[in-house]
Structure 1
């Protein structure tokens, strides 16, 4: 039987998943933020990473399916980032990060994600920039490494960069981000389980997975038309920034 805390966390995860899925993200930064504000914050870093990645696989998979089904996926845009991200996410997931270093990295990512939600990047209608293949691979590799170290999929880093640099329309960026997130999450999870073993608590993961499955479906299908999108975005941003503050204070 689920405890009160698990029920509340599941409800919040559902909302977070729907918000992230609506823009092609998996939501790992949000899941880590939520868990950091609960008793699960005491769990070891690899436990948190493996659970965040597992939830990411569900939501990013749903988001990619919906955006690809709608015709927004451009393989030529996704492939170079995937080629760079996949091996480096494995390496990042395999590396054991010191607790203080992990808290610092995660806090930085949470702050970045929170600020992005407060000040969303607007699409520019200028002609798409032409980027070299090798440069995209290098960017994918760097984001993949950070994703593996922290326990995210990297969408919060990739998608604003793609929009700012005009390499795709918002929906094309969402499709590419969802694919990138799914691949990085799978790779990071494999790397972490190879190094530390499987740390997944199925009793915890099942209700959380059910919540993000529902949220991910609703968000990826109807996200852009959610009437309360701005309000949810502001609340989610507050959660990310509060969680980052909590992590930062715990370092000192």
Structure 2
């Protein structure tokens, strides 16, 4: 990768991804992966790099949403209980993704359309109760997927929680931020159990700074200043981008 122009463009793309994704409580890993793939970075470098950036941005998003009381411990802990060890396990495994990525992409695109349509119809809905065993099963499955793909899992968790209406949209964003944070840490530890920190690119500090700045701005607006319909449309856009990326790759 050219150390000048290409690095600056990639840094700008990372900042933009962090801003958009953090506004809906996401860490932005799928955006970082897409940006890095445009510049031909090796998958072995992309996965841990995206997880490191994810940890930084998800931490900011969680702080902002939690302070705004957009969070639920009651929903988070059963989801995270099994997701963490499963994300670690997924981080240690490298599997071909040609069969499940298109399927997940279609699901995310559908969820994006449903979220956008719902934003035009109503921003508030009646929350549906969910049993702890269901949340634990979801956490285990999505944690494994998170570790395998190198993302924190928010792109999987958010549409699922929206579809079943387990919480209001801002609370979902706060839960997603926490889910992404713990899974990214576990997934990164899984990756590093098979390799070393030397695999991380030298430009990572610059990318980290860009991601933190973008993440701070996005989380600030997403956690406090955007109305629910706008937040739903942003979430729809995030899901659409992630879904299309999974389908085409």
* TM-score > 0.5 by shorter chain: yes
Name the stretch that deviates more: 101-110 or 202-211. 101-110
Segments of 5+ residues of structure 2 without an aligned counterpart are: none
Segments of 5+ residues of structure 1 without an aligned counterpart are: 248-252
Please give the per-residue CA displacement for 1:9-42, whole angstroms capped at 9, x wherever unaligned.
11111111111100100111111111122221xx
Aligned match of 2:215: 216
RMSD over aligned CA atoms reads 2.9
126 and 236 in structure 1: CA distance in 2 versus 1, 3 angstrom threshold? closer
Match of 2:72 among 68, 71, 74: 74
Distance, in Å, in 1 between the alignment partners of 2:4 and 2:113 is 32
Count of residues in Structure 1 that have an aligned counterpart in Structure 2? 239
Distance, in Å, in 2 between the alignment partners of 1:231 and 1:73 is 19
1:95 aligns with 2:87: no
CA contact (8 A) 2:111 2:236 kept: no
Name the stretch that deviates more: 111-120 or 211-220. 111-120
1:38 aligns with 2:39: yes
Please give the per-residue CA displacement for 1:49-84, whole angstroms capped at 9, x wherever unaligned.
101100100111100000001111111110011102
CA contact (8 A) 1:108 1:244 kept: yes
Aligned match of 2:7: 6
Distance, in Å, in 1 between the alignment partners of 2:47 and 2:156 is 17
Aligned match of 1:23: 24
Match of 2:84 among 67, 83, 86: 86
- Post-superposition offset of 1:205: 1.0
* TM-score, normalising length: structure 1: 0.83
Moved beyond 6 Å, runs of 4+: 228-233
Name the stretch that deviates more: 196-205 or 21-30. 196-205
- Post-superposition offset of 1:200: 3.9
232 and 12 in structure 1: CA distance in 2 versus 1, 3 angstrom threshold? farther
2:147 alignment partner, SS class? helix
Match of 1:120 among 111, 115, 140: 115
1:241 aligns with 2:244: yes
CA contact (8 A) 2:108 2:155 kept: yes
